[in-house]
Amino acid sequence: MNKSHPPSPGTSFPEGQVDSLLSIISSQRERFRARNQELEGENRMMQHTVHALQSELDNLRADNIKLYEKIKFLQSYPGRGGSRDDTEQRYSSQYEERLDPFSSFSRKERQRKYLSLSPWDKATLSMGRLILSNKTARTVAFFYTLFLHCLVFLVLYKTAWSESVGRDCAAYCAKKYADHVHKFHENGDAGDMWQ
């Protein structure tokens, strides 16, 4: 009953077996290295091909959009045909979609956010849009705001000036009273003052 046990770390392989294992591992490493270099080369070629195809696709898409813009320009002239074939309709929809692919999403999101606003916020937003969309409204809003600021400034200035004048007047009257009392009632006959 002699079972073969794997060699323990402390035991050594015979010399021929070590050379055999070393040559097998070395050849396997060289095969993997060669395969890795081959795959990296293929990867670089694929990336180059993908980049070239993507740039060609972008160029073709830009050319199609330019051609469709020219078609729309030519159709804007009076007397030019209004007939549209299937190809033109297909490119028309692609043109509209690719011009701004997120426009419909953006519109829906804007509508959803607008509907979630409170009535006060909706009124404020509508008023802001109204003012910002019209040059006359912007001018009126600017001068109205300027007028309100000037009015507030003048009211505050008048209030401060009135209070200052009142304080100065009270101080002046108190000083005159003190001078009068000192001048005419020096000896302390305050009782004669009320008679």
Here the tokens at position 10 are 């402390």
- pLDDT tens per residue, range 106-128: 878 888 899 999 999 999 999 99
Here the tokens at position 23 are 């040559």
- What confidence category does residue 136 fall into, taking pLDDT thresholds of 50, 70 and 90? very high
What are the angstrom distances between the C-alpha of 82 and each of 76, 79, 88, 97?
9, 9, 11, 22
Q: What's the N-to-C CA distance of the chain in angstroms? A: 146
- pLDDT tens per residue, range 63-80: 887 887 787 777 777 665
Q: What's the pLDDT at 118?
A: 93
Q: What's the pLDDT at 195?
A: 44
- pLDDT tens per residue, range 34-47: 999 999 999 999 99
